[in-house]
């Protein structure tokens, strides 16, 4: 067959008939029930005037303390083409009754027009990393026709905004869903209506608001309420809440695909070998097939995360080979595992940036990872874990064991809740005297990131050190990482 005839036989893709512009004024008006002041096309959607880029639609949201209409001039200075407003403005705009409801409607319209597979991701730990890895796999196999929610845009504003940004020609969409209270994910999953719903793990994050891990499992399982008919639930086989999640998924008519080390897991670890770069060489089994691939990210938690990724890609009809390449190439995300080599006396020191989030499960996992990281000395800068309520003293004090097991040489504890861990370490020293010196690290308790930096300077970072920085985002330990990197530059 000559080349011309081959091109004539090439299968038609209906997506090619869809518009290249993200939204036209007519489409926005139709989706939102608004009226357009003029005709225009936009290339993006943004709700924060500071992040508006050339060609964006600026959505002027109104909150309890802030009104986005105050920033319309700034949005157009930054390159906005038009605005979504609830009043007349001297710029191209779509006028609607309520901009929040209009954004949700625009997200629903994006969902309806896309001929794509949708994947929803939630969990107590690891959901952002897993979301990014699934996206990387599907983007590679679809040659750039995948879309995902950026950063942690996983709430009642972030999910509709992420949907509204989805190009009509996308073949895959990957969306993260988070929550602080019961009922929140139920609303988000009805926006996304995923074909595949992934729960990474269940752990005592937000236990202050929910009261128990069982209640957390139930709240996460709300994601199954939006799954399309015939869709798949990807759930952790090793979780003590596996049966609870399975029952919730089956109640919604989902097919089950489990992942983990358990013998009953559908995507199961057969073998793990540490790789030279700190990651893992994996062998996994699914049905009668086997996968061998490399995970660049270190730690046991990424062994399991990679299985969730593979299960989700398989359920969505993606390419498992592309998923393996994506996992091998992934680097840590800022605040969520990014690694930086900084100059220090005697050589380079390693900074592990986990400053964006923390809960008991992720603290234990990353301390375990620190313990496996080759280093002359191990330093842990640990910030308070928030939203633990009455459980906070017990969970913070419980980090004494993981600190010891990780062979941490020096711990800088930051925030009021970390007093419980400092007290626990003192008690161990008091009970065991000199015998405890090999069991607990030297430590100091600080009030804020500035004091933590001073303590780190007093201790003295040298070549060969590995420094873990981890805490809830509100503690602000990202400032510690930023300052260490700034000094290196």
Q: What is the pLDDT of residues 362-407, one digit of tens each?
A: 999 899 989 989 999 999 999 999 989 999 999 999 999 999 999 9
pLDDT at 405: 94
The residues pairing with 284 across neighbouring beta strands, listed in sequence order, are 269, 291
* Distance separating alpha carbons of residues 84 and 164, to the nearest angstrom: 13
pLDDT at 145: 95
Secondary structure tally for the chain: helices H, strands E:
18, 22
Place of tokens 């001039």: 73
Q: What is the pLDDT of residues 102-155, one digit of tens each?
A: 999 999 999 999 999 999 999 998 899 999 999 999 999 999 999 999 987 899
pLDDT category at 448 given cuts 50, 70, 90 is: very high
First to last CA, the chain: 58
Residue 335 is classified by DSSP as T
State the pairing for strand pair 35-36/93-95: antiparallel
Residue 376 is classified by DSSP as S
* Distance separating alpha carbons of residues 234 and 267, to the nearest angstrom: 10
pLDDT at 210: 84
Instruction: Report in angstroms the alpha-carbon separations of 113 from 23, 71, 169.
Output: 11, 30, 9
Tell me the CATH number for domain 114-329. 3.40.1190.10
Average of per-residue pLDDT values in the chain: 92
Q: What is the pLDDT of residues 177-221, one digit of tens each?
A: 999 899 999 999 999 999 999 999 998 877 878 889 999 999 999
pLDDT at 4: 58
Tokens of 93: 């705009």
Percent of the chain with pLDDT over 90: 81
Helix boundaries (H) for 227-276: 242-251
pLDDT category at 16 given cuts 50, 70, 90 is: low
The 8 Å CB, 24+ separation contacts for 71-76 are 74/49, 74/50, 75/46, 75/49
pLDDT category at 1 given cuts 50, 70, 90 is: low
Residue 49 has pLDDT above 70, yes or no: yes
The CATH superfamily assigned to 19-102 is MurE/MurF, N-terminal domain (3.40.1390.10)
Angle made by CA atoms 132, 133, 139, in degrees to the nearest 5: 85
CATH 3.40.1190.10 domain extents, the chain: 114-329
* Distance separating alpha carbons of residues 10 and 156, to the nearest angstrom: 42
pLDDT category at 278 given cuts 50, 70, 90 is: confident
Residue 15 has pLDDT above 70, yes or no: no
pLDDT at 3: 58
Please state the separation of Cα 246 from the chain's center in Å.
Answer: 23
* HSE (side-chain half, CA atoms, 13 Å) at 182: 13
Yes or no: say if 53 and 60 are a contact pair by the CB < 8 Å rule.
Answer: no
pLDDT category at 337 given cuts 50, 70, 90 is: confident
* Distance separating alpha carbons of residues 475 and 89, to the nearest angstrom: 39
State the pairing for strand pair 280-286/377-383: unpaired
Q: What are phi and psi of 352, to 5 degrees?
A: -100, 110
Instruction: Report in angstroms the alpha-carbon separations of 477 from 18, 171, 361, 439.
Output: 45, 38, 19, 26
Lowest mean pLDDT among 25-34, 133-142, 145-154, 434-443: 434-443
* Distance separating alpha carbons of residues 58 and 72, to the nearest angstrom: 8
pLDDT at 180: 86
pLDDT at 5: 61
The CATH superfamily assigned to 338-488 is Mur ligase, C-terminal domain (3.90.190.20)
Residue 333 is classified by DSSP as B
Yes or no: say if 400 and 421 are a contact pair by the CB < 8 Å rule.
Answer: yes
pLDDT category at 335 given cuts 50, 70, 90 is: confident
**Rg (alpha carbons) of the chain, rounded to whole number:** 24
Q: What are phi and psi of 378, to 5 degrees?
A: -115, 130
The region, left, alpha or beta by phi > 0 then psi within -120 to 50, assigned to residue 440 is beta
CATH 3.40.1390.10 domain extents, the chain: 19-102
pLDDT at 436: 52
Yes or no: say if 280 and 298 are a contact pair by the CB < 8 Å rule.
Answer: yes
Yes or no: say if 242 and 235 are a contact pair by the CB < 8 Å rule.
Answer: yes
pLDDT at 81: 97
Percent of the chain with pLDDT over 70: 94
* Distance separating alpha carbons of residues 361 and 139, to the nearest angstrom: 30
439-453: average pLDDT: 93
CATH 3.90.190.20 domain extents, the chain: 338-488
Residue 284 has pLDDT above 70, yes or no: yes
Q: In what order do the strands lie in the sheet with 82-85?
A: 35-36, 93-95, 82-85, 56-59, 44-46
State the pairing for strand pair 442-446/465-470: unpaired
């Amino acid at each position: 067959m000559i080349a011309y005839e081959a091109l004539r036989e090439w299968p038609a893709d209906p997506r090619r008939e869809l518009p290249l512009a993200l939204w036209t004024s007519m489409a926005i008006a139709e989706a939102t029930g608004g009226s357009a002041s003029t005709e225009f096309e936009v290339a993006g959607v943004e709700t924060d005037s500071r992040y508006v880029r050339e060609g964006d639609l600026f959505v002027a949201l109104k909150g309890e303390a802030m009104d986005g209409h105050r920033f319309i001039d700034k949005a157009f200075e930054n390159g906005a083409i038009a605005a979504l407003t609830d009043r007349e403005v001297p710029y191209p705009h779509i006028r609607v009754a309520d901009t929040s409801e209009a954004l949700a409607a625009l997200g629903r319209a994006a969902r309806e027009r896309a001929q794509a597979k949708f994947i929803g991701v939630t969990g107590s730990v690891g959901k952002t990393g897993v979301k990014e890895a699934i996206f990387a796999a599907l983007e590679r196999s679809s040659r750039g026709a995948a879309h995902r929610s950026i950063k942690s845009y996983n709430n009642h504003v972030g999910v509709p905004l992420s949907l509204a940004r989805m190009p009509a020609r996308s073949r895959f969409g990957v969306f993260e869903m988070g929550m602080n209270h019961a009922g929140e994910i139920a609303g988000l999953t009805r926006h996304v209506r995923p074909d595949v719903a992934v729960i990474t793990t269940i752990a005592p994050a937000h236990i202050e608001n929910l009261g128990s891990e069982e209640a957390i499992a139930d709240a996460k399982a709300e994601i199954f309420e939006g799954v399309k008919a015939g869709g798949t639930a990807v759930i952790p086989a090793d979780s003590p809440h596996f049966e609870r999640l399975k029952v919730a998924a089956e109640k919604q008519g989902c097919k089950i695909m489990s992942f983990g080390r358990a013998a009953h897991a559908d995507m199961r670890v057969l073998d793990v070998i540490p790789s030279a770069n700190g990651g893992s060489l994996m062998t996994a089994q699914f049905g009668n097939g086997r996968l061998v691939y490399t995970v660049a990210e270190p730690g046991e938690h990424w062994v399991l995360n990679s299985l969730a990724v593979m299960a989700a890609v398989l359920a969505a009809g993606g390419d498992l080979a592309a998923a393996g390449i994506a996992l091998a190439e992934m680097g840590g995300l800022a605040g969520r595992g990014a690694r930086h080599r900084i100059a220090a006396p005697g050589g380079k020191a390693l900074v592990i940036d986990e400053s964006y989030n923390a809960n008991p499960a992720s603290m234990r996992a990353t301390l375990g990872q620190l313990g496996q990281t080759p280093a002359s000395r191990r330093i842990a800068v640990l910030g308070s874990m928030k939203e633990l309520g009455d459980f906070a003293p017990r969970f913070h004090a419980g980090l004494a064991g993981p600190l010891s097991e990780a062979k941490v040489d020096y711990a800088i504890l930051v925030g009021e809740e970390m007093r419980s861990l400092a007290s626990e370490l003192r008690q161990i020293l008091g009970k065991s005297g000199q015998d405890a010196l090999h069991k607990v690290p030297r430590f100091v308790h600080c009030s804020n990131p500035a004091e933590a930096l001073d303590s780190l300077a007093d201790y003295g970072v040298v070549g060969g050190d590995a420094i873990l920085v981890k805490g809830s985002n509100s503690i602000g330990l990202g400032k510690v990482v930023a300052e260490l990197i700034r000094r290196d530059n």
